[in-house]
Amino acid sequence: MDVHNVDLTISAVDPKQYPNTQFPEIAFVGRSNVGKSSLTNVLINRNGYARTSSQPGKTQTLNFYNIEDKLFFVDVPGYGYAKASKVSREKWGKMIETYLTSREQLRGVVALVDGRHAPTADDVSMHEWLTYYGIEVLTVATKMDKIAKGKWNKQESIIRKTLDLDASERLILFSSLTKQGKAEVWQWIEGRMHQ
């Protein structure tokens, strides 16, 4: 999709605040610092709209971005932030659980993992959890420009194996610097919009 118009419609903490529209929604999840804002910015051709996080783990709201009056990107606060208090982690868990399990407009989740490493225990739990609820997931491995091309295949199979992806599940190798993978991510999102 060629994106020109993007608005932050609302930063919600409570279902009553979710936008009252029928646009399809795609949510983005991943550990703090995984490259979620960078991926979003590449998808919408911006440099600064979805703020890159100088204070990881701080934003504890679901941010609904209206894309061209056609769909919403829902930015889910990053997980795995060690300094977050137990209370705020529990609140985070409840908020995203409520959204991901009850939102009819949700068409799929883009789940980011750091392409340089094996997925963490938190990444594995997130993937298992989404799968358990029957949510459509696209896994995106970020920061691939930091790995030599000769190692991509090996890295891809480590990620697939650690997350236990089956053959039908897509894994896209992405870099916000080279924009590789952008078209594939959009293709998946557009495919989900018409479900």
Burial class (CB in 10 A: 0-12, 13-18, 19+), 82: exposed
Nearer to ligand GDP, 21 or 60 (CB): 60
Task: For the CB of residue 176, give the shortest distance to ligand GDP in the complex, in Å.
Answer: 4
Among 26, 27, 38, 123, binds ligand GDP (CB under 6 A): 38
Does residue 35 interact with ligand GDP by CB under 6 A?
yes
Does residue 145 interact with ligand GDP by CB under 6 A?
yes
Nearer to ligand GDP, 53 or 120 (CB): 53
Residues 157-186 that bind ligand GDP (CB under 6 A): 175-177
Does residue 146 interact with ligand GDP by CB under 6 A?
yes
Contact track, ligand GDP, 5-34, x by CB under 6 A:
-------------------------x-xxx
Region binding ligand GDP by CB under 6 A among candidate stretches 7-15, 50-58, 85-93, 101-109: 50-58
Nearest to 123 by CA among 108, 106, 141, 135: 141
Does residue 53 interact with ligand GDP by CB under 6 A?
yes
Residue nearest ligand GDP, Cβ-based: 35
Does residue 52 interact with ligand GDP by CB under 6 A?
yes
Q: Which residues bind ligand GDP (CB under 6 A)?
A: 30, 32-38, 52-53, 56, 78, 142-143, 145-146, 175-177
